[in-house]
Every structure is written in C-alpha cells, then in structure tokens.
Amino acid sequence: MGSKSTLRTWTFFVKGIRIQGAHEYTPPELSIQVANLRGGAQDAPTPVDDGMEALTCQVKFWGIDTDMLAQLGCVTGQKSRFTAYEGYMSNGTALGTIEELEGFISKVTRDARSGESLSEVSVTVDIALNYYKQMLEGRSLIEIDTERFIRRINGVDQLSGLATKIRL
C-alpha cells in the first residue's frame, strides 16, 4: 500500500504560457462505457468494457486571459496543448505530476457581474480532449490517445491486442 500524498500546489499552462489567474482545475474524468451482455444460459449479464466516455477537463481563472480564450473552437490542422503541473507532499518528500492535454476549448462560461467582489469574477473554460497523459516523477500512469487507439494504464496498453488485429 502506498503512502499518503497531499496536493500542495499546481499551475496550468497553455502552449507553454502560464495562466496567471488559474485558481481551479478539474482533471479529466476517466470513465468506461459498460455494455451488459447476456447469453441464453446466463442468469445475470456480464459487464463488458465498451470504450471510454469523452474526455474533458475544466479550468477556472480570474479576469480575462487572451492566451487561453484564443484556444476556443477547433482550428483545422492545429491542436492546442495544455499542461498542468501538480506538487504533492508524501512523508516529507516533494513529488510532482505532469498532465499533458491536447484538444480545444469547447465552452466558455463567465461569472455573473454583481455589485460586490468584482475582483473575484472568473471565467470557466471546458476543454474537449483527444489526448491525455499523466506522469508521476517521470513514470507514466495514464496515457489516452483517442486518435491513435491507445489506452495505457501504468504502462500497459489495454488496446494493443485489438489494435494488432485491425492492423493499427
């Protein structure tokens, strides 16, 4: 069993430029679509991995950031790269993760403008992803590439057998 790790700090970048006002980041949810198959002699269905749900993440930042907002929509031939760095403490030792993300901003939601606390007005962006990779201290934990038929978990490509059969 591993030791407890506590997230202490994080930063978020778009195309190598730090988003200064970023104050909330929600990493992609990893969710498997489950199909239930039932044969004639089965009392209950057998769950089957039927691929993954769409990958999205969300970032919230104060004010306005033109570098971030310029990534709205899908531009032919271009894919935006985002990077999240996280610093953890584990038994007095600093550990770091790097999350590489590729996709485009699919939604921009601006906070309501009220009469008080205008300095805390934020913009929330949803990012539709076609690539996600999480590394811990140089070790690959998760890598999902929707266009190249790759789903690696702890270095094991769960789709390689199928990819070979269909000549990918």
Mean per-residue pLDDT, 87-103:
94
Q: With 60 as the cut, is the pLDDT of residue 137 above it?
A: yes
Tokens in use for 25?
Answer: 């980041």
Paired residues of 99 in beta bridges: 84, 134
The string of pLDDT tens digits covering residues 141-165 is 999 999 999 999 999 988 888 777 7
**With bands split at pLDDT 50, 70 and 90, how would you rate the model's confidence at 1?**
very low
Mean per-residue pLDDT, 99-104:
95
CA distance 98 to 94: 14
Nearest to 86 by CA among 14, 21, 136: 136
Strand 156-157 relative to strand 6-14: parallel, antiparallel, unpaired?
unpaired
**With bands split at pLDDT 50, 70 and 90, how would you rate the model's confidence at 6?**
very high
Q: Where are the domains of the chain?
A: 6-32+50-137
**With bands split at pLDDT 50, 70 and 90, how would you rate the model's confidence at 66?**
confident
Quote the DSSP letter at residue 66.
H
Does the pTM surpass 0.75? The reply is yes
